[in-house]
Amino acid sequence: MMATVQLQPAHGRPLARGEIRLEVDRIACDGFGMCAELLPEIVELDDWGYPIVHSLLPKKLLPMARRAVDVCPVLALRIRQGH
């Protein structure tokens, strides 16, 4: 059973202090979909297999997000934190 995650908008404003966002370099991304497999709570794939990040990254998903960044074959992911 999957844990429930409170979703907040992922873009459209600067990050506030303590907020965390998973960002996709859309130029580098080749649509392998590993990020969506590791983070289905916040990432889904569009019709062509490219990721759409739907929310800020909850702290409890940070370890899995780091793993997604590490396994991305084209290094198209990064984690950004507000200061």
Q: Which domains does the chain have, with CATH numbers?
A: 20-81 (3.30.70.20)
Helices (H), 31-71: 34-38, 62-71
Q: Which strand (E) or helix (H) includes residue 23? A: strand 20-24
The more confident residue out of 83 and 57 is: 57
DSSP state, 21?
E
Q: How far apart are CA 29 and CA 24, in angstroms?
A: 7
11, amino acid identity: H
Position 12 scores a pLDDT of 58
Q: Over the stretch 5-61, which tens digit does the pLDDT of each residue have?
A: 545 455 557 888 989 999 999 999 999 999 999 999 999 999 999 999 999 999 999
